């Protein structure tokens, strides 16, 4: 049966008969579908995220995921309940046009018992989605959110240091102790046939199977991009052209940030029905070179090429990265996954001693197991994941060319020079009730002063590395050894699956300790919120 499903999917996936919008890039939303997408023999390139709904609807329908029973009849109380719990707020449906408008809210309040202070988030916004044409070859989505929030002490300090809310953009002070910030995203998606999908937008992307990605994650803020996905046989090939900003190093005196460009290739191949292999390469280069006129470099526009020989041939100092993503399905309901990211390597110099600074690697290993009843009325997922990055990974001699966007890493929130272990579990009952727990144990090495560079701060230049260019003896955790533990426990009720509107309670505990200081957080929150973006506060 599974092989038949896989065959059907291969024949129709990406066919321009279903909406071309993306499924929301949110771990909880993806878990509704993932157990079936990860079945052995099902050919879906799940490492390229967000997933496009045209790809998954042919295999898993919305109704089969949620199986919710609307109230019958045309009386007002029933229609009101159906509108709140099942439908989009506003809908327009014709033979060649679909439009939906829904609220984006987060009305949450709570307390940090360690500091005995109130916490709250006040978010108001809208998401608008639509499809154009009888075959729905063109789809679009846009979101806008206006926010005010008061965060616990550790997160407040982090925001003041980097001038952004994690993944949500720049901030300004609000009533002295809180923050005010706004953000928006959007894209247009077009599939002319079953082989190609083009997306032009301002949003996020993610490569991998885990909670984190060491290759490209959704940790940083939205950015403009052009994305081309090509699907042929067992192959998926993604071209991603982006523009990033740097507001820390070399900021332009007029616009306040420095622009830089990124070009990425990702080739995913279903080698067998139990193994999927992905190859990644990326290049980051500044908008302005020594002549101040470089802009987008057409040498990196070619969609089928190896970047490293091009960079070498140009004699350029651009930041090149290469990576491997691997997923194994030894049995149904179990996947084993991993990543390897190489930012830099000098084999000849490394032979002269251990811990050479240019051996810049990032690694991930994880396992994910799914438990469910045949009708998925009861469903659970358990994940265990290990991540590590050597000192100075993702940094560069020219800091503007680091692997970051708007003051945040494009891969792991901790930057580099760390080890981390994560356990995550989630359980869903009767499609609407859920509980989850995430536990993080991390060790990182921090700079002991503003003048030091031990490899965790990817916004510092490699020229400031002690002993540069002959820096040896480096190891993960060097510097001010810092230990982080966090536990995030949640339980809630899914009010409306169309926009993942949840009524949720949360207990969050975090300890952060080194020889200089210790910060403890114990947070209780209750809120009504639409979760359509991941928010990483475990940093």
| Nearest residue to 394 via CA among 224, 244, 211 | 244
CB contact at 8 A, 168 and 123: no
Residue 310, CA atoms < 13 Å, CB-side half-sphere: 21
Range with lowest mean pLDDT among 11-20, 54-63, 350-359, 449-458 = 11-20
Residue with tokens 């994650």: 217
For the chain, give the number of residues. 539
* CATH class as words, domain 2-530: mainly beta
User: How many other C-beta atoms lie within 10 A of the C-beta of residue 247?
Assistant: 18
| Cα–Cα dist 340/347, whole Å | 17
| Cα–Cα dist 84/454, whole Å | 52
| Nearest residue to 382 via CA among 208, 210, 206 | 210
Which of 291 and 538 is assigned the larger pLDDT?
Answer: 538
User: How many other C-beta atoms lie within 10 A of the C-beta of residue 457?
Assistant: 20
For residue 11, the model assigns a pLDDT of 33
Confidence at 411, pLDDT banded by 50, 70, 90: very high
Task: Give pLDDT tens digits for 290-302.
Answer: 555 677 777 777 7
- Beta strands at 223-232 and 206-207: parallel, antiparallel or unpaired: unpaired
Range with lowest mean pLDDT among 25-34, 219-228, 250-259, 273-282 = 250-259
Where are the chain's structural domains? 2-530
Mean pLDDT over the full length of the chain:
90
For residue 65, the model assigns a pLDDT of 82
For residue 310, the model assigns a pLDDT of 57
Average pLDDT score over residue span 26-54: 91
Maximal CA-CA distance, the chain: 80
| Nearest residue to 500 via CA among 432, 424, 425 | 432
Task: Give pLDDT tens digits for 498-514.
Answer: 999 999 999 999 999 99
């Amino acid at each position: 049966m599974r092989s038949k499903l896989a065959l059907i999917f291969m024949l129709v996936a990406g066919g321009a008969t279903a909406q071309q919008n993306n499924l929301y890039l949110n771990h909880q939303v993806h878990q509704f579908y993932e157990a079936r997408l990860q079945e052995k023999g099902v050919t879906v390139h799940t490492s390229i995220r967000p997933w496009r709904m045209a790809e998954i609807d042919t295999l898993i329908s919305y109704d089969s995921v949620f199986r919710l029973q609307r109230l019958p009849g045309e009386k007002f109380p029933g229609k009101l309940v159906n509108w709140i719990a099942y439908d989009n707020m506003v809908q327009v449906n014709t033979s060649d046009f679909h439009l939906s408008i829904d609220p984006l809210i987060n009305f949450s309040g709570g307390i940090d018992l360690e500091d005995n202070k109130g916490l709250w988030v006040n978010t108001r916004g809208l998401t608008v989605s639509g499809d154009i044409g009888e075959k729905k070859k063109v789809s679009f989505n846009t979101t806008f959110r206006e926010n005010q929030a008061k965060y616990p002490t550790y997160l407040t300090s982090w925001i003041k240091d980097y001038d952004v809310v994690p993944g949500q953009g720049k901030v300004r002070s609000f009533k002295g102790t809180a923050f005010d910030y706004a953000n928006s995203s959007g894209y247009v998606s077009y599939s002319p046939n079953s082989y190609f999908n083009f997306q032009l937008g301002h949003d996020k992307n993610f490569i991998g199977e885990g909670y984190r990605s060491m290759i490209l994650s959704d940790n940083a803020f939205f950015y403009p991009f052009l994305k081309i996905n090509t699907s042929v046989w067992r192959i998926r090939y993604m071209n991603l052209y982006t523009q990033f900003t740097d507001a820390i190093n070399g900021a332009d005196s007029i616009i306040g940030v420095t622009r830089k460009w990124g070009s990425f290739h990702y080739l995913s191949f279903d080698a067998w029905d139990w193994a999927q292999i992905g190859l990644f390469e990326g290049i980051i280069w500044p908008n302005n070179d020594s002549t101040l006129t470089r802009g987008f470099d057409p040498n990196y526009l070619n969609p089928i090429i190896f970047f490293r020989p091009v960079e070498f041939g140009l004699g350029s100092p651009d930041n090149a990265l290469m990576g491997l993503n691997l997923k194994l399905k030894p049995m149904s309901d179990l996947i084993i996954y991993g990543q390897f990211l190489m930012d830099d390597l000098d084999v000849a110099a490394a032979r002269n001693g251990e811990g050479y600074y240019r051996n810049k690697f990032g690694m991930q290993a994880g396992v994910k197991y799914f438990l469910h009843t045949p009708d998925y009325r009861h469903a659970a997922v358990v994940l265990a994941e290990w991540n590590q990055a050597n000192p100075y990974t993702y940094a560069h001699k020219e800091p503007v060319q680091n692997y970051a966007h708007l003051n945040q890493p494009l891969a792991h929130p901790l930057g580099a020079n760390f080890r981390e272990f994560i356990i995550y579990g989630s359980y869903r009952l009767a499609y609407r009730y859920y509980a989850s727990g995430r536990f993080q144990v991390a060790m990182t090495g921090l700079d002991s002063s503003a003048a030091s560079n031990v490899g965790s701060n990817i916004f510092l230049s490699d020229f400031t590395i002690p002993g540069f260019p002959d820096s040896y003896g480096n190891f993960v955790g060097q510097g001010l050894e810092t230990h982080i533990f966090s536990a995030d426990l949640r339980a809630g009720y899914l009010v409306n699956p169309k926009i993942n509107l949840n009524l949720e309670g949360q207990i969050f505990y975090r300890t952060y300790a080194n020889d200089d200081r210790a910060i403890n957080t114990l947070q209780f929150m209750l809120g009504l919120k639409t979760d359509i973006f991941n928010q990483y506060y475990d940093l």
